[in-house]
Structure 1
Amino acid sequence: MQKLFTPIHFQDVELKNRIVMSPMCMYSCYNQDGMITPFHFTHLVSRAVGQTGLVITEATAVQPEGRISAQDLGIWDDAHIPGLTELNEQLHAYGAKTGIQLAHAGRKAELESEIFAPSAIRFDDSYKVPNEMTIDDIKQTIDAFKQGARRAKTAGFDIVEIHGAHGYLINEFLSPLTNKRTDQYGGSPENRYRFLSEIIDAVKTEWNGPIFVRISTDEYHEDGNTLDNMLYFAEEMKKQGIDLIDCSSGGVVPAKVNTYPGYQVPRCETIKHETAIATGAVGLITTGKQAEEILQNERADVVVIGRALLRNPYWAKAAADELGYDIEAPIQYERGWR
């Protein structure tokens, strides 16, 4: 059997294949209330119909001020639970497992309200200067992640992913480029990791299933986190029981990135082998053969597909055809599957 279509377990959760839909913001909550909309059902459920193994929702804000935009999904209120529950029921009906990315945008929030960050440094001249978070602000945000995990459990998600990448709040605490604090949350790598560490501990008080963390493994700046820093963070996450590290890159500071197919895979591979933690490879993975090469050579444990799944909800079927593998069809589509 092709490894792409071999099941994989994370605790008691079995993914039927190793294809993961990357969380991608859709900016489609038109009432600015964080509520799921008909678009989200169409968008996400169609990928489950297409036989994606794990469907992860877009970055879902744990606080209103933590949205990237006013059109983002939210999980800061119990009122968000019914819509997310219905979404899970539909995704599960097609054999997909479900994940939610708990997120806070930090200084990259483009909102009319005040925004927050570890230090009062804006992303660039087009962004607001954020408020430097007080200890009380930090404690409230950690609790917001905890409450987001509680709501995710109630709504029926299988996996929680904590968003620690792309220059958003957790990434801002991790990076020396954006964290200039002189208290227990700043300075050394150990102190910069503290915020994420306390979020993980808080989430685990409400969530007893698999937890993934997405990180930016390369900050594309000579003064940013080194690969050794990333390996240290990965080792700490492993100690805390994190099940998989989703290995992305960039977004911490403005940077020009030389992208090419699989450009983020080498650091993903290094983290996997140096720390013996499961990893997800992401970044211009577009074909079944490319995905299979990554998995067969143990460069990652799953492939996290973004733009290719935007282009084709049935990417799993296309990959199976390319690899000569007979993927099972949803009963409604059997006539056109072969």
Structure 2
Amino acid sequence: MSILFSPLSIRSITVRNRLWVSPMCMYSAVDGVVQEWHHTHLAQFASGGAGLVVAEATAVVPEGRISPRDVGLWNDEQRDAWAPIVEAIHARGAAAGIQLAHAGRKASTWWPWAENRGSVPASDGGWTTTAPSPVAFDGFAPPEELDSDGIDRVVEAFAVSARRALEAGFDVLEIHGAHGYLFHQFLSPLSNLRQDEYGGSLENRARLLLRVVDAVRAAAGDAVPVFVRISATDHADGGFTEQEAAVVGGWATEHGADLIDVSSGGLVAHQKISVFPGYQVPLASTVRQGGRIPVSAVGLITAAEQAEQVLAEGSADAIFAGREWLRDPHFALRAAHELGAEVAWPPQYERAHWH
């Protein structure tokens, strides 16, 4: 039997398979409110057989958005706009997750297809960003250092957004601690130069992330799975390492996280990444610690046999994919066919299954 198409139970939910959709920013919201684009975009993956569909990085406060076009979950209008999307995912048999996020010093930037690059000025709807230290990402405006009250407000914002996500019907909550955004900025000594209890040692640099895990777990209760996405290396000298990531992953699970979603990079412009199929799978294996910590793998996983092998060799417990789902929204149905796994097809599509 295919491991990729075996169910996975986490707390109160059972996900129908282990081929999942990564959160992917669409930069198509209006005032943080999702639009029709998001509905079609996310529901199609559930029709295509995904086990879990995780909605894109969703800002918990306005100043946490990567761009002015990012989605948010800091008010009830945004919550209510998410609800029919969640219903559409559920109606097609998949579980629905959402990635709660704060971009820190990488906020207030232009969306990818804008004519400009770098930070959006206030005159164009931008804002002053915040970070662990007043150190800018290369090419972006310098951020303001978060004080203790500001840190407390971030923790509370994640808790409030988590509650709104549950009210919208989401099954899984993911905390975004990767790709150079706020919690990653705290974790890495390249961006965290603080001298207080949030800087210096790894324990101190992880303190904010773990406080947020505690807060989201408290909001979620005992039934709802909580994931944490981390960048397991900065791909830069002197940065956050995969060995540190394994330690932080262990701490996060002790604080109530159920799975560590292992990615990498995004913190500094001078990162040097060797990209090849499955290039981040060894990082997931390191964080997994021989099976002690549940993890997902991601990163140029584009084929059924490849995904199956990652699970078979014990490198991960589930597979997240991104670009391959954009190329083929029915990636899971195709992968199941290639692996000879029997899965439920939408009855509207069964003629393609049998003929």
* Same fold per superposition (TM over 0.5): yes
In 1, distance between residues paired with 2:256 and 2:159? 16
Which aligned pairs between 1:284-295 and structure 2 lie closer than 5 A? 284-295=300-311
Among candidates 56, 71, 74, match of residue 72 of structure 2? 74
Matched, 1:6 2:6: yes
Q: Distance in 1 between matches of 2:290 and 2:252?
A: 13
Aligned pair partner of 1:247 in 262, 271, 283 = 262
Q: Distance in 2 between matches of 1:117 and 1:270?
A: 28
Q: Is the 8 A contact 2:290 2:314 kept in 1?
A: no
**Conserved 8 A contact 1:261-1:283:** yes
Q: 2:162 & 2:101 partners in 1: Cα distance?
A: 11
CA distance in 1, matches of 2:150, 2:290: 35
- Of residues 268, 282, 285, the one that matches 1:266 is 282
1:236 aligns with 2:256: no
Are 2:163 and 2:219, in contact at CA under 8 Å, matched by a contact in 1? yes
- Within 1, Cα distance between the matches of 2:243 and 2:233? 11
Q: 1:330 aligns with which of 323, 346, 349?
A: 346
Larger CA deviation: 63-72 vs 249-258? 249-258
Contact 1:234 1:245 in 2 (8 A): yes
> Percent same amino acid at aligned positions?
47
Deviations 1:89-127 (A, max 9, x none): 110001100100000000001241111000001100x20
CA distance in structure 2 between the aligned counterparts of 1:171 and 1:323, rounded to whole angstroms: 37
Aligned length, in residue pairs: 335
In structure 1, give the amino acid aligned to 2:22.
S
* 1:107 has 2:105 as partner: yes
The DSSP-based 3-state class of the residue aligned with 2:220 is: coil
Computed over aligned residues only, the root mean square deviation of the Cα atoms, in angstroms, reads 1.0
CA-CA distance at 1:228 after TM superposition: 2.4
Q: List aligned pairs for 1:149-168, cutoff 5 A.
A: 149-168=162-181
Q: Which moved more, 1:85-94 or 1:274-283?
A: 274-283
Work out whether residues 36 and 84 of structure 1, in 8 Å CA contact, stay in contact via their aligned partners in 2: yes
Structure 1 gap ranges (5+): none
Q: Report the CA distance between 1:296 and its aligned residue.
A: 1.2
TM-score (norm 1): 0.97
**Deviating 4+ runs (over 3 angstroms):** none
CA contact (8 A) 1:24 1:57 kept: yes
8 Å contact kept, 1:2–1:323: yes
Q: Does structure 2 conserve the Cα–Cα contact (< 8 Å) formed by 1:218 and 1:226?
A: yes
Give the structure 1 partner of residue 328 of structure 2.
Answer: 312
1:1-338 matches, within 5 Å, as 1-29=1-29, 31=30, 33-109=31-107, 110=109, 111=120, 112-124=126-138, 126-208=139-221, 209-254=224-269, 255-274=271-290, 276-338=292-354
**Counterpart-to-counterpart distance in 2, 1:205 and 1:238:** 14
Q: Deviations over 1:44-101 (max 9, x none)?
A: 0000000100000000000000000111110011221111111111100011001000
Q: In the TM superposition, what whole-angstrom CA distance separates every residue of 1:288-333 from its partner, at most 9, and x where no partner exists?
A: 0000001111110000011000100000011112112232211222
Moved more, 218-227 or 5-14: 218-227
Q: Is the contact made by 1:234 and 1:275 (CA closer than 8 Å) also made in structure 2?
A: no
CA deviations over 1:11-49 (Å, ceiling 9, x no partner): 1110000011000101111x3x11010000110000000
* Cα offset, 1:273, TM superposition: 2.4
Partner SS, residue 27 of structure 2: coil
Q: Distance in 1 between matches of 2:166 and 2:27?
A: 24
CA contact (8 A) 1:231 1:274 kept: no
Runs of 5+ unmatched residues, structure 2? 110-119, 121-125
Contact 2:129 2:144 in 1 (8 A): yes
Give the drift of 1:275.
6.7
Q: Distance in 1 between the 2:176 and 2:84 partners?
A: 23
Residue 222 of structure 1 and its aligned partner are, at CA, apart by 1.6
